[in-house]
Amino acid sequence: MSVWGDLYRGETEFDFVRNRRRFFIISGVLILVSIISLFTRGLDGSVDFTGGAIVEAPNHSGQDVGAYRANLSEIGLAGARVQIRTEPDGSETVVVQTEALAVDMRDQLVAKVAEISGDNPNDLSIEAVGPTFGSEITRRAIEALVIFLLVVALFITWTFEWKMAAAALTALFHDLIITAGVYSIVGFQVTPATVIAILTILGYSLYDTVVVFDKITENVHELGNRHTFTEIANLSMNQVLMRSLNTSLTSLLPIGSLLFVGSYLLGAATLREFALALFIGIAAGTYSSIFVATPLLTEWKETEPQWQRMQRRASRRTSGIQLNEAQVASVKAAEEKRATGATPRAPKRRTKHR
Amino acid sequence: MNKRPLWTSLILIVVIAWGSLGAMVASGWDPKLGLDLQGGFSVVLAAPEGTDQAVLDQAVITMRSRIESLGAVQEPEISVQGDRRILVQLPGVEDRERALAAVGTTGQLTFRPVYDYQAISPAFLDGTLPLPDSMTTTTTAAPDATTTTTAASDGATTTTVAGETTTTTAAAETTTSTTTTTTTTQPPVIPDGIDPDTGISLVDDPNQPVYLPGDDGRVYSLGPAFLTGADLTGAEPGFGSIGLGGTGGWTVDPAFTSEGGAKFEAATAELSQFPYGDPRRQMAIVLDGKVISAPSIAQDVAAGESLPADTVIITIGSAEDSQQQAEDLATVLRYGALPTTFERESEGSVSASLGSDSLRAGLIAGIAGLILVALALIVYYRVLGLIAVLGFTVFGSLLIGTIILLGQTQGTTLTLSGVTGIIVSVGITADSYIVFFERVKEENHRGRALKPAVDYGFKRAFHTIITADTVTLAGSALLWLLAIGPVKGFALTLGIATLVDVIVAYYFTRPFAQLLVRSGLGEGGAMSIRGAMGTTATEVTS
């Protein structure tokens, strides 16, 4: 049987959990690089966040928004916001907003706008403009996010358990930091659309993790009295692997299409910024729900007495009744715990299986 | 299994989804596009020279709150431009004046004691008469101005009809008296800064006595404010019985802070010392330099007695647009006054900032992406993939229909952020199908026959879908409630899409799959459900 055939039937037997250290190292390095870049290079906020310069000029030549933007990107101002304002008397004014510029860039901007609009550069003035996506919107968005995360954590705790909530949120931060890190490293401008995209990733990452945890919970109920948590986690992930891959594919196809067809082939640079964030974020979201959230959960769960007992039983099954020193120690520790009154949970009730 | 409920559900949702979208398109309803996709209206508001930057920032916050609470305009873009201007851009063109009024109205509210009032003579207005000194000591009532008291059952409420008559409701019989010439015993201080032509104060300073015009055509001589808009915690529009004979009318009911309430009670106690009929028994409610009403303390309130603060009602009237006026005034009061006054400059309509090229590219890319998704699903899941593709059309129709409906009724606009929400929701709804189909495969591989695999698989998959969608839904609801600006627009689209996803999964996907597995397409052939399972019938029955 080929791997693809197994994958198709959900019968793969990849050992995701055994290699978890490797994945943790990969993720850790990515997060570290992202954080370093975020602190040293920072993020490049667009005019919507930082404010900048605004130039207005009578649009004598009658050019459209696209023509202005194309010409402005030639002098490196691809992120400029261009609008045509129709005055009550019917005449047109072109309004160009850019991020804060150095003096020589300001002159270039004025000259360029004047050239396209057919005005005298000396007639145009450049003014400062404040952010539209100002500190108030940012503050409110952050407040909303914090409350959102709290509610989600409570919800997952209530539906599953708190360790799953913690693992899911860890995976979430993993995705957010890496996405923000890519923006910082590549130096793409962060626009309001990017913020939206990052919020989307948040929803997506949680969604993806919840689907995997739902499967684990179900398998624990069915198999929890015969298998170790590691085995169950591995089984669950192999079962949902095809779903994860397919979902990533169907989510990434429209976004990838937006990224490549929209922004590269058709030249709509404005679409690139959020399509990229979504692309990275969703890829990271799929990765983290398999390689971060679940291995992390496994690491935690295996320390629980109930699952440690299961592990001892499993190792007895495989290696005969010979216990190594560590296992003897852990059995002793467990017995001591029992003596002190800390009773381990009774094995889960056997549910029907066929 | 009885197939009839399955058919009913399936047909009903398809008819509702396609039918409602078709009807909307046929009647010419389009989704309302936002500022970035379709452009809108732009106005520059200028503050007085030398206004502090912090004042402008505060004004931007207040303007945004006011516009968003109107509900009719979503995602305005407001920014400080230069050193004393605010650039306001609004999507769409409907309700433009209303939105502009919301950003432009200063909203400075004061409650002032009335010293006196006088009718404005036309000559006075056109500047042919100089400001008479006598104005400060003598008032002549407008010839048709009558002060009327009417009976009321629930004690003293202070209300005024904006217009020619001043009405006071009191628990007494109706009496009508005409005010003629009154000589005030206590001449008020003549304030500085009076327009020599109109005799009206240039600046409505709450701490100074002023002359201000009233909606009833009088000029009021007013004392320093008892309390201002800062003493309000909120304001609610309402409809109640006002004026003569209790005709219904729109009102605004301000709520005071506890401190403001105490100030109000002290003020009314002060005013009630004057005899009934004396203008000094009246309290003027002044908004942006205009006396909108000046109710008198009811006749039966004894001298020195105070009125509870919750009796204050600002009366708007019963004209056709009164409801909107009341709502807008309540909005303005709720979010407080602008820290300074603004003048409108350079208005005009603005083009979309994204331009048609971006929108076209986005649409082409979106459609190309959808086709790819559809192909992938059909190749992978065969006839089940076809369910997903048809499901997309139902999902899309419901989603776009809801957005159009909200646009038409609530003024909700679709921006690039919203479009992003839709594209992402395609991924999420595709996942619902994948979770379901993979589950069916798994159940089938575990040995369930096709029919129970579909039935049981849906039950389990739906549990997963509900759990995961609840997280998304809770997230979008919270973001919608708490966030402002583009984040709100995104949350709305994503929230609706998530709800639609659950509805489609239950009412479309489930009956379709269950009917399909019982039809000829269940077994047999590479395109059948069996084909998608990668099992054979014999393998399963063993």
Q: Inform me whether the pLDDT recorded for A166 exceeds 90.
A: yes
Count of domains for chain B:
3
Q: Which residues on adjacent β-strands are paired with residue B175? A: B149
Q: Could you tell me if residue A243 is inside a domain?
A: yes
- Which of residues A129, A153, A188 is at a domain's end? A129
A42: helix, strand or coil: coil
Q: Are A68 and A93 within one domain?
A: yes
What's the confidence (pLDDT) of residue A28? 93
Q: Could you tell me if residue A105 is inside a domain?
A: yes
Q: What is the mean pLDDT of residues B482-502?
A: 82
Q: Could you tell me if residue A344 is inside a domain?
A: no
Tell me the two tokens of residue B81.
Answer: 């431009």
Which of B421, B468, B491 is closest, CB to CB, to A210?
A: B468
Whether residue A62 lies within 8 A of chain B, CB to CB, comes out as no
Nearest to A163 by CA among A295, A55, A258: A295
The CATH number given to whatever domain includes residue A271 is 1.20.1640.10
Nearest residue on chain B to A126, alpha-carbon basis:
B82
Q: Could you tell me if residue B275 is inside a domain?
A: yes
The CATH number given to whatever domain includes residue B92 is 3.30.70.3400
Q: Are B23 and B67 within one domain?
A: no
Q: Are A226 and A151 within one domain?
A: yes
C-alpha B228/C-alpha B109 separation (Å) is 5
Q: Are A146 and A115 within one domain?
A: no
Q: Are B137 and B272 within one domain?
A: yes
pTM for this structure? 0.69
What's the confidence (pLDDT) of residue A39? 92
A124: helix, strand or coil: coil
The CATH number given to whatever domain includes residue B391 is 1.20.1640.10
- Which of residues A109, A129, A149 is at a domain's end? A129
- pLDDT tens per residue, range A287-318: 888 888 989 999 888 888 888 888 888 777 76
Whether residue A124 lies within 8 A of chain B, CB to CB, comes out as no
Q: Are A219 and A87 within one domain?
A: no
Q: Are B268 and B358 within one domain?
A: no
Q: Inform me whether the pLDDT recorded for A254 exceeds 60.
A: yes
- Which of residues A129, A162, A190 is at a domain's end? A129
Chain B: closest CA distance from residue A161 (Å)? 14
Q: Are B93 and B187 within one domain?
A: no
* Chain-chain contact of A128 with B354 (C-beta, under 8 angstroms): no
What's the confidence (pLDDT) of residue B125? 46
Q: Are A148 and A288 within one domain?
A: yes
Residue B87's φ and ψ, nearest 5 degrees, are -95, 120
Q: Could you tell me if residue A11 is inside a domain?
A: yes
Note which residues in 38-57 of chain B have CB less than 8 A from chain A.
39, 42, 56-57
Nearest to B109 by CA among B260, B279, B265: B260
Residue B217's φ and ψ, nearest 5 degrees, are 85, 10
Q: What is the mean pLDDT of residues A57-76?
A: 83
Note which residues in 353-382 of chain B have CB less than 8 A from chain A.
353-358, 360-362, 364-366, 368-370, 372-373, 376-377, 380
Whether residue B510 lies within 8 A of chain A, CB to CB, comes out as no
Mutate which: A150, A243, A248, vs B, most B CBs within 10 A: A243
What are the helix (H) ranges across B254-321?
Answer: 258-271
C-alpha B234/C-alpha B256 separation (Å) is 7
Tell me: ipTM over 0.85: no
Cα A81 to chain centroid distance, Å, stands at: 27
- pLDDT tens per residue, range B327-336: 877 877 777 7
Q: Are B225 and B125 within one domain?
A: yes
Q: Could you tell me if residue A197 is inside a domain?
A: yes
What residues of A are in contact with residue B351 (Cβ under 8 Å)? 64-65, 83-86
Q: Could you tell me if residue B535 is inside a domain?
A: yes
The CATH number given to whatever domain includes residue A72 is 3.30.70.2040
Q: Are B95 and B116 within one domain?
A: no
Mutate which: A148, A196, A204, A247, vs B, most B CBs within 10 A: A196
Sequence-distant (6+) residues with CB within 8 A of B118 are B135, B138, B139, B140, B218, B219, B221
Nearest to A127 by CA among A222, A53, A233, A45: A53
Q: Are A105 and A236 within one domain?
A: no
Q: Are A158 and A288 within one domain?
A: yes
Q: Could you tell me if residue B27 is inside a domain?
A: yes
Q: Look at A25-29, A78-82, A147-151 and tell me which has the smallest mean pLDDT.
A: A78-82
Chain B: closest CA distance from residue A68 (Å)? 11
Q: If you write DSSP's letter for every residue of B263-310 in order, what string do you get?
A: HHHHHHHHHTTSPTT-GGGBEEEEETTEEEE-PBPPTTSPTT----GG
Cβ–Cβ < 8 Å for B166, B92 = no
Whether residue A129 lies within 8 A of chain B, CB to CB, comes out as yes
Q: Inform me whether the pLDDT recorded for A35 exceeds 90.
A: yes
User: Which DSSP symbol is given to B296?
Assistant: B
- Which of residues B329, B350, B371 is at a domain's end? B350
Count of domains for chain A:
3
Q: How confident is the model at residue A174 (pLDDT cuts 50, 70, 90)?
A: very high
Note down the domain range covering B117: 109-321
Q: How confident is the model at residue A267 (pLDDT cuts 50, 70, 90)?
A: low
Q: Could you tell me if residue A98 is inside a domain?
A: yes
Mutate which: B55, B345, B358, vs A, most A CBs within 10 A: B358
* Chain-chain contact of B416 with A250 (C-beta, under 8 angstroms): no
Q: Could you tell me if residue B337 is inside a domain?
A: no
Which of B350, B355, B362 is closest, CB to CB, to A69?
A: B355
Q: Are B361 and B317 within one domain?
A: no
| Residue type (1 letter), A138 | T
Which of A83, A151, A258 is closest, CB to CB, to B423?
A: A258
Note down the domain range covering A311: 305-339
B446: helix, strand or coil: coil
Q: Inform me whether the pLDDT recorded for A208 exceeds 70.
A: yes
Q: Are A207 and A244 within one domain?
A: yes
* Chain-chain contact of B353 with A81 (C-beta, under 8 angstroms): yes
Note which residues in 460-479 of chain B have CB less than 8 A from chain A.
460, 463-464, 467-472, 474-476, 478-479
| More confident of the two residues B204 and A269 | B204
Q: Are A14 and A157 within one domain?
A: yes
Q: Are A316 and A275 within one domain?
A: no
Q: Are A217 and A193 within one domain?
A: yes
Q: Inform me whether the pLDDT recorded for A321 exceeds 70.
A: no
Q: Are B308 and B411 within one domain?
A: no
Average of per-residue pLDDT values in chain A: 80
